[in-house]
Structure 1
Amino acid sequence: MHPADERAQKLVLALHRYDLDQVIALLPDLHTRSPSSRKITHSNLKPVFEQAKKDHLDLLHPPADFQAWLYAPLRRTIHGEHTASPRTVHTRASLLARLYRLLEREGLFHGEPLRHLPRPSAKRKAQALQERADITRLHLQTQDDAPLHAALLLIDHAAFTPGELLALTWEDVNFPRGQVLRRRTASTVHPAALQALDRLARQAGGPLHAQGHVFEYPDDQALRRALWKACQDANVPYLPPALLRQAGLRDHAQQLTPADAGFSSEAAYQLAVDVAQRLVPQDD
């Protein structure tokens, strides 16, 4: 049997069995071949394949009302019916259309079953991240609050999350090497953040004697409350730690490695940076 014929038979069998993993493996052009892209592709097509299996719908011979049938699986998430965002619906429909184009290229399908399918816009509303001038003003405002000042510098220069801040202990800080141990990586810390940590350590008995947690906020909400008050005092809009973290990735990505930002995966880090850079306010 010719290899192309054998591959085609495997594709037909995988589609009849609703074996999405096998379909993705046999159609590498369906994704960008990185592990993260493959996982995203699987996640987006999974609701369609699951619903097709449940309804005994032949994906190689979709019925005349295929587009109406798609309405439910394209909009379903783990949170229930009609809970998928417009962007998710658009992504799923685009991937499914690509799947059928690839099947047509393989000679297994003819037609455009998603042609003229109404799709919501994938564009997001522009979301302005904190301006650098506002962040600088916030840093200046918190200089008399050593814990909050150090926390903000770690968010800004090392992309720390609130969970990582609250979990950080003095045993995780290596001052001679300028590193901190966090959830996924050991990160080299920006000099300004290391200086703020040193100042905080001196208040706790000195870098050689400080013990326990670096930040004594009892929980995430206490940290956010302190940040909210500091924003008010600095007369800047309040943004939660997650958006301040994105602003740091936006502004400092060139000086960071994935490990320095707490990412064990280069792909995940680049995706986070790309998202942050797309949120830079654009001039009209």
Structure 2
Amino acid sequence: MVDPADERATKLEQAFHTFNLEQIIGMLREELHRPIPQLRANLRPIFEAAQTQEMNLLSPPADFHDWLQTPLRQIQTGGEARANTIRARYATLKQLYDALIDLGVMDNNPAHGCPLPPPEHSQAPLPSTADIQRLLAEAESTDEELFAALTLIYQQAFQLTELLALRWSALDFSRAELMRARTITALRAESLAALKPLLSRAGGPLHAPQKGQRVFSFKNADDVRLQLWKTCQAANLTPTIGPRELRLASLRDFPQAPPGSGFSNPQAYERALRHATTLTELKRSK
């Protein structure tokens, strides 16, 4: 009898050789944690270019990073894609390769280290602490899962991709610690309290980690954004608060060592902190 995992890997390899993007997305949508239209839009330019040039994306050439610059940047109307679009395409491709590594299809990520343009940062001022507290109070009264998610974003500077991938096995409640992709974070008391109702629903600290299940049931990042938008509407918050603004507000309101905010690179943490400070000063000057 063929191992189902081996059969899945074989089908993925075949799909890559025929550049069947739809089949690949269908088989890996759970691992990629993104809406299908977004996956399709981000990966299509790369797959179309590879098919035209008959490039094997499972075993790309040594100059793969140079080659990627064209499909990452091209747009149908001519000209060059915006920096954040380029970075989104790259992030999706890198995540795709990471999923293939986890499944044993590949041994390393050929996209890793590809040079990218710096991100474009919004200059919209950050929400006030009072507005964030109104948002959290509304979420706590209506949706304990969303409340826990927003608490992790605000208290621990979580990214949406981290939330969607977080499993109970990454949490150590006895130590109040959480293992993230690059660091181990000490959970603040508010974060720990927000997670406890979800932990109880999942079977408690003895059973939930063993099941390997995800902490949050959100389908994708857009699902979180939609619930957050509805909660902002209910709390009469205008403009609405997005996940990115909430995370930057975390750096403003809870200064801590980089690992506490999920940063393993001190320079990256300092850049993010400077940006949050700039947006705070922008609001004060208005």
Quickly name the TM-score band, shorter chain normalised: 0.5 to 0.7
Indicate whether 1:128 and 2:139 are aligned.
no
DSSP 3-state at the match of 2:227: helix
Instruction: Give the structure with higher Rg (CA).
Output: 1
Measure, in 2, the Cα distance between the counterparts of 1:176 and 1:130.
33
Deviation at 1:222, TM superposition (A): 0.9
Residue 45 of structure 2 is matched in structure 1 by none
The residue type paired with residue 248 of structure 1 is S
Deviation at 1:207, TM superposition (A): 2.0
Note closer, same or farther for the CA distance 1:278–1:201 as it changes in structure 2 (3 Å cut): same
Indicate whether 1:227 and 2:228 are aligned.
yes
Note closer, same or farther for the CA distance 1:176–1:227 as it changes in structure 2 (3 Å cut): same
Alignment partner of 1:139 out of 136, 145, 149? 136
Residue 270 of structure 2 is matched in structure 1 by 270
Provide, for residues 198-231 of structure 1, a one-character-per-residue CA deviation record: whole Å limited to 9, x for no partner: 2210122212222400001111111111111111
Residue 206 of structure 1 is matched in structure 2 by 204
DSSP 3-state at the match of 1:200: helix
DSSP 3-state at the match of 2:178: strand
Residue 241 of structure 2 is matched in structure 1 by 239
Provide, for residues 69-118 of structure 1, a one-character-per-residue CA deviation record: whole Å limited to 9, x for no partner: xxxxxxxx945757779xxxxxxxxxxxxxxxxxxxxxxxxxxxxxxxxx
Q: Residue 166 of structure 2 contacts residue 214 of structure 2 at CA under 8 Å; is this kept in 1?
A: yes
The residue type paired with residue 130 of structure 2 is A
Note closer, same or farther for the CA distance 1:193–1:277 as it changes in structure 2 (3 Å cut): same
RMSD between superposed Cα atoms in Å: 2.1
The residue type paired with residue 127 of structure 1 is A
Summarize the alignment of residues 244-263 of structure 1 with structure 2, pairs less than 5 Å apart: 244-253=246-255, 256-263=256-263
Q: Residue 198 of structure 1 contacts residue 207 of structure 1 at CA under 8 Å; is this kept in 2?
A: no
Q: Residue 182 of structure 2 contacts residue 262 of structure 2 at CA under 8 Å; is this kept in 1?
A: yes
Residue 174 of structure 1 is matched in structure 2 by 172
Measure, in 1, the Cα distance between the counterparts of 2:123 and 2:81.
21
List gaps (5 residues or longer) in structure 2: 1-71, 84-120
DSSP 3-state at the match of 1:279: helix
The residue type paired with residue 196 of structure 2 is D
Measure, in 2, the Cα distance between the counterparts of 1:225 and 1:200.
20
Residue 150 of structure 2 is matched in structure 1 by 152
Measure, in 2, the Cα distance between the counterparts of 1:131 and 1:162.
21
Residue 165 of structure 1 is matched in structure 2 by 163
Measure, in 1, the Cα distance between the counterparts of 2:215 and 2:183.
18
Measure, in 2, the Cα distance between the counterparts of 1:84 and 1:214.
34
Measure, in 2, the Cα distance between the counterparts of 1:132 and 1:231.
14
Measure, in 2, the Cα distance between the counterparts of 1:185 and 1:172.
11
Q: Residue 178 of structure 1 contacts residue 188 of structure 1 at CA under 8 Å; is this kept in 2?
A: yes
The residue type paired with residue 236 of structure 1 is L
The residue type paired with residue 216 of structure 1 is S
Measure, in 2, the Cα distance between the counterparts of 1:270 and 1:173.
26
DSSP 3-state at the match of 1:270: helix
DSSP 3-state at the match of 2:164: helix
Deviates more, 1:147-156 or 1:196-205: 196-205
Measure, in 2, the Cα distance between the counterparts of 1:81 and 1:139.
42
Note closer, same or farther for the CA distance 1:157–1:125 as it changes in structure 2 (3 Å cut): closer
Residue-pair matches, total: 168
Measure, in 1, the Cα distance between the counterparts of 2:253 and 2:187.
16
The residue type paired with residue 199 of structure 1 is P
The residue type paired with residue 201 of structure 1 is L
Q: Residue 73 of structure 2 contacts residue 80 of structure 2 at CA under 8 Å; is this kept in 1?
A: no
Higher RCO structure (Cα 8 Å, ≥6 apart): 2
TM-score of the pair, normalised by structure 2: 0.55
